[in-house]
C-alpha cells in the first residue's frame, strides 16, 4: 500500500508565486523526506524532517510535519521556472542501515515563466 500520498497531484503556478504541496502518510515514522525529480532523471534529496521536528527551512524551501495528523507540507517560495519537476515525499520508519524509504505518488509542479 502507498505510504505517502501527496496532493495535489498536479500544480501549475506562475513564476514568483509560492507552491504548496502536501503529503499524508499512514504509519508511524522516524523521518520524512522530500525529493525532486526532473523528467527522466534520478531523484535529488531536498530536505529531511525528523518525527520530533515540526518545521524546517532550507533556502526557499519550508517543510512542516504534523505527526498527529500524519501529514507534511512542502512550501517553495518565490518559485522559478527551474522548479518545474516532480516532487515526492518519502517516509522512513527507522534509521538503521537497511531502513527503507516508502514513496508517495508524487506531485507534478509546473512553473510558468
User: Which residues would be at the binding site for another protein (CB under 8 A)?
Assistant: 2, 31, 33, 35, 40-45, 48, 88, 92, 95, 97-98, 100-106, 108
Minimum distance of another protein from residue 66's CB (angstroms): 20
| Shortest Å distance, C-beta 24 to another protein | 14
Distance CA 73, CA 47 (A): 11
In 3D space, the residue among 19, 27, 21, 20 whose CA is nearest the CA of residue 6 turns out to be 21
C-alpha cell at 17: 508565486
The least distance separating another protein from the CB of residue 86, rounded to whole angstroms, comes to 8
Please identify, using beta-carbon distances, which residue of 41 and 80 lies nearer to another protein.
41
If you ran DSSP here, which 8-state letter would residue 27 be given?
A: S
Q: How far is the CB of 60 from another protein (least distance, A)?
A: 18
Closest to another protein by CB, 14 vs 38, is 38
Q: Are 109 and 83 in contact (CB under 8 A)?
A: yes
Which residue, 22 or 102, is less far from another protein as judged by CB? 102
Please say which residue, 77 or 108, places its beta carbon nearer to another protein.
Answer: 108
How far apart, in whole angstroms, are the C-alpha atoms of residue 77 and residue 13?
Answer: 12
Using the structure block, give the residue that is written with the C-alpha cell 507534478. Answer: 108
Amino acid at each position: 500500500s502507498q505510504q505517502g500520498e501527496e496532493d495535489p497531484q498536479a500544480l501549475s503556478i506562475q513564476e514568483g508565486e509560492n507552491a504548496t504541496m502536501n503529503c499524508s502518510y499512514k504509519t508511524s515514522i522516524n523521518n520524512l523526506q522530500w525529493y525532486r525529480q526532473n523528467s527522466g532523471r534520478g531523484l535529488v534529496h531536498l530536505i529531511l524532517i525528523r518525527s520530533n521536528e515540526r518545521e524546517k527551512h532550507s533556502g526557499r524551501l519550508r517543510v512542516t510535519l504534523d505527526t498527529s495528523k500524519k501529514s507534511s507540507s512542502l512550501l517553495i517560495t518565490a518559485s522559478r521556472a527551474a522548479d518545474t519537476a516532480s516532487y515526492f515525499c518519502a517516509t522512513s520508519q527507522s534509521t538503521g542501515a537497511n531502513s527503507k524509504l516508502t514513496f508517495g505518488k508524487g506531485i507534478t509542479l509546473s512553473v510558468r515563466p
